[in-house]
Chain A
Amino acid sequence: MTAVGVSALQLGLQSCESCGLLSRPAAGIADGLCPRCDERVSFRAHQSLQRSWAFLIGAAICYVPANTLPVLATNTATGTDYDTILQGVALLWSPTGWPLALIVLVASIMIPSAKILSMGYLLISVQRGTTSGGEQRVRLYRIVEFVGRWSMVDVFVDTFTAALVQLQPLMSVEPGPGLFFFAAVVVLTMLAAESFDPRLIWDAALPSGVLSV
């Protein structure tokens, strides 16, 4: 992959992430405010890697209880059953219900873990200064950013179920503690993706010395 042209950084210019205006920073100072929209501008997002790492590690920590704690408590006449996400998948897995189980499996377990792994890969590759595959990594980043918001589907389904299935005293459904962690995973991965500055992917290809971030 070859970077075409030169980057704004090389020319000593900053691009506003909000309105896209290119501006030259005030004398000798890296960060400032966009003269057009007052958005904070910098050569590269402030502490991008550090923030992204922080959110990502937070998400990874929350991922464990999100999968081990029950997300759904079903009260029936015979007692209360607690189900984690994986137990829900196992419950749905039947000759006729397997597509549904697959959706839950993909949306609730595979996508969050894939997001965490992808972000980790992006961050590590940037830190190690990997120069190759920049285009693919940018594509990966875009996918992660796009998919992020859809991961809340699980949380929505759970809250809807809890609100709708209230057939007291026969049956009722309540959200479990795992749901809180699951929502945290989704939010934190989104924040991690948001904090990541994709421009860093290309910086590794720049001649050394230019990078001053």
Chain B
Amino acid sequence: MPESRNVPKRKTRLSLVWVVPIIAALIGAWVTVARILGEGPKIEIVLKTAEGLEAGKTKLRYNGVDVGEVTAIRLSDDHASVLATAQMAPHTEGFLVEDTHFWVVRPRISGANVSGLGTLISGAYLGMEIGQSKETRREFEALPEPPVIAADVPGRYFALESPDLGSLESGTPIFFRRLQVGQVASYELAKDGQSFQIKVFVNAPYDQYVTPNTRFWHAGGIDVSLSASGLSVQTQSFLSILIGGIAFETPATGPVLPAADAGTHFDLFANRANAFKPAARDPQTYILVFRESVRGLDVGAPVEFRGIPIGEVTNVTARVDARTFTFAAPVTVRLDPQRLGVAVGGLAPGQDLETVRRTLIDSLVAHGVRAQLQSGNLLTGSRFVTFDFFANTPPARADWSASPPELPTIPGQLEAIETQVASIIRKLDAVPIKGVVDDLRKAIVQADGTLASARGALDSAGNLVGPSSPLSAQMESTMQELSRAAQALRVLADYLERHPEALIRGKAGEAK
């Protein structure tokens, strides 16, 4: 039997193979540690509904980048809301701060926006907006709707106040010179229920055009106004016709102001005309008592002085005197005399502004200034109040004892015409029509006789100039004579024209 060759026996008792499980353990430990360390924070989001969300599938995205995944969805203990647990990607701790917001992105189609169409295919996901706060947070409440304006868009928020929401909603565009420069962010009814607080966002760089003097107005739809200057149609863009909008503009007149601070409050006017109506700087309230019908005189009707608007009607009431049964309509008006250019300048020392104004108005009234109702529009029957100088008016005085002070009025033009017509009719009434008619009849009979004798006279005159009368024959022969004489004259004139010397020398033929 052959013998195997000899090799020195190895001394090692512990095999090198043990390296294998050690390496395996190390790699396994490293992977586990890396996964634990690499795991981002877990957060909980409170939602109204989990519609479209799926545990293990629904992602959390920030600007289109996956930053986490919903790992579990369950009902809250009171079954009122849904709690979604999400596993965030590593290194996202900095995103999860106090003012970070989450919302569910679903396909949304509202007037101005179509968004989230991608989710039709991919399913809903959770969008997020990273806040600026330093406070960390792990439990969030999802917004009911995606925010209209992302937090990192440069621009400024402003607050508008409007008694009426119009067709505004979040996302409604804001126009500056018909360019869309912002959106309505949100709105809420004021606590007293009297107005809406509308939060609007104007993108940079257009926010610099919003100054403390800027006017905002509802620019939705088509604003058609019929005025003395004709039909005017105001619109912003096609979009705003469909879904409404807000426009703003700064009046060209007036001081150039720096851009308004973020959060500045503005009034939102119903239309452009209202927005640019100069604000009354020194409004005064007066009462005008009309003794005629005030039908057609509405609150807001203009008060003019010779066609210049100086104020508006603020109230129309009625007053009946129970003893005399006379009707009166006290009309409250708010006047801004400064619009007339009646500026009370340079007060002398010791003079009171009120006294000066009273003196001025008293002297105007003394010169015949009266308030009168006039028809503004024949179609609608609307009326307005006008002040003018009226000659031959009974003297009157402004009643400063009343509160507010009462200014004298005179009846309107229609009223005056009516009065005149009535007086004419009264005079007609006084005329003795029967006697007049009898006289007329007698006169007619006499006239009949006169006419008969006149006809006889005319007949004899006719006989005198008839075709067979001697007068007529003589006339004819006389005419013929005249005709011949004219002919002879013409011949003479002809000859003289050719031979002017004949006047001196006589006819040439005769001379020879």
Contacts from A to B (Cβ < 8 Å) = 14, 22-27, 29-35, 41, 46-47, 50-51, 54-55, 57-59, 61-62, 64-65, 69, 77-81, 177, 181, 184, 188, 191, 195
Minimal beta-carbon separation of A15 from chain B (angstroms): 11
Q: Is B7 in contact with A47, judged by CB distance below 8 angstroms?
A: no
Q: Is A64 in contact with B28, judged by CB distance below 8 angstroms?
A: yes
Number of A-B contacts (CB under 8 A): 95
Q: How far is the CA of A127 from the CA of B3 in the complex (A)?
A: 31
Number of B interface residues in the complex (CB < 8 A): 30
Q: Is B6 in contact with A26, judged by CB distance below 8 angstroms?
A: yes
Q: Is A29 in contact with B9, judged by CB distance below 8 angstroms?
A: yes
**Nearest 7 interchain pairs by C-beta:** A32-B4, A58-B21, A78-B122, A58-B24, A26-B6, A57-B21, A54-B17
Q: How far is the CA of A85 from the CA of B192 in the complex (A)?
A: 63
Query: What are the residues of chain B within 8 A of A79 when measuring CB–CB?
Result: 57, 59, 66, 122
Query: What are the residues of chain B within 8 A of A23 when measuring CB–CB?
Result: 1-4
**Contacts A/B (CB < 8 Å), 24 sampled:** A14-B4, A23-B1, A25-B3, A26-B3, A26-B6, A27-B6, A31-B7, A32-B4, A35-B2, A47-B17, A50-B14, A51-B17, A54-B15, A58-B21, A61-B28, A62-B24, A65-B32, A69-B35, A78-B121, A80-B66, A181-B28, A188-B20, A191-B20, A195-B17
Q: Which of B78-126 contact A (CB under 8 A)?
A: 121-123
Other than the given A50-B17, A54-B20, A62-B27, 14 more pairs (CB < 8 A) read A23-B1, A23-B3, A25-B4, A27-B6, A29-B7, A31-B7, A32-B4, A51-B15, A57-B21, A61-B24, A69-B35, A77-B122, A78-B123, A188-B20
Q: Which of B1-46 contact A (CB under 8 A)?
A: 1-7, 9-10, 14-15, 17-21, 23-25, 27-28, 31-32, 35
Q: Is A35 in contact with B5, judged by CB distance below 8 angstroms?
A: yes
Contact with A along B451-478 (1 / 0, CB 8 A): 0000000000000000000000000000
Contact with A along B163-205 (1 / 0, CB 8 A): 0000000000000000000000000000000000000000000
Q: How far is the CA of A11 from the CA of B126 in the complex (A)?
A: 77
Query: What are the residues of chain A within 8 A of B7 when measuring CB–CB?
Result: 29, 31-33
Q: How far is the CA of A61 from the CA of B20 in the complex (A)?
A: 10
Q: How far is the CA of A13 from the CA of B5 in the complex (A)?
A: 14
Supposing A54-B15, A55-B21, A78-B121 touch, asked if A65 and B3 sit within 8 A by C-beta, the answer is no
Q: How far is the CA of A47 from the CA of B15 in the complex (A)?
A: 7
Contacts from B to A (Cβ < 8 Å) = 1-7, 9-10, 14-15, 17-21, 23-25, 27-28, 31-32, 35, 57, 59, 66, 121-123
Q: Is B18 in contact with A32, judged by CB distance below 8 angstroms?
A: no
Q: How far is the CA of A24 from the CA of B25 in the complex (A)?
A: 41
Closest to B58 in A: A79
Supposing A77-B122, A79-B59, A188-B20 touch, asked if A33 and B4 sit within 8 A by C-beta, the answer is yes
Q: Is B122 in contact with A65, judged by CB distance below 8 angstroms?
A: no
Minimal beta-carbon separation of B55 from chain A (angstroms): 13
Q: Is the interface of A mostly helix, strand, loop or mixed?
A: mixed
Q: Which of A14, A41, A78 has the most CB of B within 10 A?
A: A78
Query: What are the residues of chain A within 8 A of B2 when measuring CB–CB?
Result: 23-24, 35
Q: How far is the CA of A199 from the CA of B23 in the complex (A)?
A: 29
Closest to B18 in A: A54
Q: How far is the CA of A79 from the CA of B67 in the complex (A)?
A: 12
Query: What are the residues of chain A within 8 A of B19 when measuring CB–CB?
Result: 54
Q: How far is the CA of A25 from the CA of B5 in the complex (A)?
A: 7
Q: Is A34 in contact with B4, judged by CB distance below 8 angstroms?
A: yes
Q: How far is the CA of A29 from the CA of B3 in the complex (A)?
A: 11
Q: Is A24 in contact with B17, judged by CB distance below 8 angstroms?
A: no
Minimal beta-carbon separation of B504 from chain A (angstroms): 131
Query: What are the residues of chain B within 8 A of A188 when measuring CB–CB?
Result: 20, 24
Q: How far is the CA of A121 from the CA of B121 in the complex (A)?
A: 53
Q: Is B20 in contact with A55, judged by CB distance below 8 angstroms?
A: yes
Q: How far is the CA of A30 from the CA of B9 in the complex (A)?
A: 8
Q: How far is the CA of A77 from the CA of B6 in the complex (A)?
A: 67
Minimal beta-carbon separation of A109 from chain B (angstroms): 18
